Homo-oligomer: A and B are copies of this chain.
Amino acid sequence: MTDQTALVLAALADPTRREIFERVASRSRAVGELASELPVSRPAVSQHLRVLAEAGLVTARADGTRRVYELDPQGLAGLRDYLDGFWSRSLAAFAKAAGRASTIHDKEQR
């Protein structure tokens, strides 16, 4: 469990922040654009984006006076690694005992 993974989990735990993150992930957006889509004020969005950025989930780039936020894959990759490690460490042993859990979600993607 790296320190960043803790930040990622804390960041994604909040519903509003998750909504913001998913919107940014699907398409880069400016702060005001996000605020107009959501039932919270613009400063609230700005504060959420700060938390998401500190967790490595989004990054910002300037475009005139606008700040366009886009997805940063680093944060999600960290969480993914944590889950992968967990899966192989604990769930593999559990699957042996239960005899099915390891195959339920075996998909070949990526």
Contact = CB atoms under 8 A, between A and B. Distances in A.
Given A12-B9, A83-B76, A83-B80, A106 B98 contact: no
A91 B71 contact: yes
A36 to B, nearest CB: 21
Contacts of A76: 83, 86-87, 91
A91 B84 CA distance: 17
A109 interface: yes
20 contacts: A1-B22, A9-B12, A13-B13, A25-B86, A71-B94, A73-B91, A73-B98, A73-B104, A76-B91, A77-B105, A79-B83, A80-B87, A80-B105, A81-B105, A83-B83, A84-B109, A84-B110, A87-B109, A88-B110, A106-B110
